[in-house]
Amino acid sequence: MPHADAGPFDQQVASHRDYLLRFARLQLRNDAWAEDAVSDTLLAALSKPLSFGSRSQLKTWLVGILKHKIIDALRHHGREVCVGGDSDDEQADPLEFMAFKADGHFGERPAEWGNPEQDLSSRQFMEILEACASKLPASQGRLFLMREWLELSSEEICKELGLTATNLYVQLHRARLRLRECLELNWFASPRAT
């Protein structure tokens, strides 16, 4: 909450705290780490307001700072992060549960996804996507978010978490399949308000 004599910039930065916290929680899956990352982000933004320069939207600039803080948190807490499990579900090949023909094509055509570009701009879609991402197994979710949302390269992720490239690609593939299934069930197959 902004201080009573805080300036307009301070108030604008503080107004994005809830969004930043949701973003950090989704990435880190740990409330304390997320709080720390957001606090560090807000402090960094408030300590150097001139570096903002209105070259982008304030929210975009803050998320850019937060991405770096999240990466720092992942590195700092790396030993506490569990990557790769031996559960039967993670060892099972997800392709076995999908209807493919012998030639590799879908046995049943996937659901129509409509206009993805329009849907991506939809706040409602993003809420469903975040909910689906939060339901991924912890290791898959973390790898997917590091690759797709934090935009780390595969090499950086492998180095940071001590994974082989093959293991990373398998985990990312499984995460994408689960996300696709969740989106088909919760977004593309259900009627939406216009």
The string of pLDDT tens digits covering residues 58-94 is 888 888 899 889 888 887 776 554 444 444 455 555 5
Q: Which SS3 state, helix, strand or coil, does residue 125 take? A: helix
**Tokens in use for 155?**
């090499």
Domain 82-188 CATH (choose: 2.40.10.220, 3.40.50.800, 1.25.10.10, 1.10.10.10)? 1.10.10.10
For domain 8-79, say whether CATH 1.10.1740 is its number.
yes
Interior CA angle at 110 toward 105 and 111, to 5°? Answer: 165
10, pLDDT greater than 80: yes
* Cα–Cα separations (whole angstroms), residue 92 to 59, 99, 185: 40, 15, 21
Give the percent of the chain with pLDDT over 70.
71
Q: How far apart are CA 61 and CA 9, in angstroms?
A: 13
Residues 6+ apart with CB under 8 A from 161: 78, 81, 83, 143
Poorest-confidence range of 58-67, 88-97, 121-130, 134-143? Answer: 88-97
Residues 6+ apart with CB under 8 A from 15: none
Output 143 or 124, whichever has higher pLDDT: 143
What are the boundaries of each domain within the chain? 8-79, 82-188
User: Which phi and psi angles does 100 have, rounded to 5°?
Assistant: -110, 150
Q: How confident is the model at residue 99 (pLDDT cuts 50, 70, 90)?
A: low
35, pLDDT greater than 90: yes
Q: How many Cβ atoms are within 10 Å of 16's Cβ, its own excluded? A: 21
Q: Sign of dihedral through CA atoms 145, 27, 140, 105?
A: negative
**Tokens in use for 44?**
């960094």
